Structure 1
Amino acid sequence: MRSQVIVSWGDARRYTFDLEEVQPMPHDMARTWLDQQFTDLGCEPLRLTGKVLLADKVVAIAQAVGESRFAEEAYRPWAQVFAKAVSAMLAKPVVRIDVPSLTVSY
């Protein structure tokens, strides 16, 4: 089954993670990892209600670490774990994260 996470900062700056050949991350481990990243990075809820939706959490983490975390080879292992966690949590074959517009689409 196709599994792909795309993180973008506009059309020209997209980072694609193909996860077909990668061991999937268990759902509970993915939730724990994303929760920990959200907390460690000091992310804030995107909604005025203070409620943190999963898609909002994913965008907030990508926004907090910045494009370099996805672009630079030194950070590739972190970016790969991020992609695996996103794929496991959202359970969609293709996930697109558009950081400037703060959106996640499937």
Structure 2
Amino acid sequence: MSFSLADVTEYFTGTIDYKGQELATSILYKLLNFFALSSFLVGFVYQDIVYSVAIFGTGLVVIAVVISPPFKFYNKHNLKFLPVKNQVFSADTISDVVIEPIQQ
């Protein structure tokens, strides 16, 4: 099985739909609050900052693994755009447009 650079870049482009963005944001906030609270409580109970930093750092890695890749459940609600009715400008006609200064 061979992979090309196009396959790799297509996988890592990270396109997700709007509902997927809301879901990713919700997961981010919930996990961040969970790891922040748990790291504070464990560090407070054991009176050791190393435990707090280790738990919070592990939480950041877990959050990055869960949130960063464009998983399939982030793309369940794709938008269907309306077709273009009529095109006003094309790439050729935009360069032909001349803006005249206003005469006073």
TM-score category (smaller protein): under 0.3
Higher helix share: 2
Higher strand share: 1
Normalising by structure 1, report the TM-score.
0.25
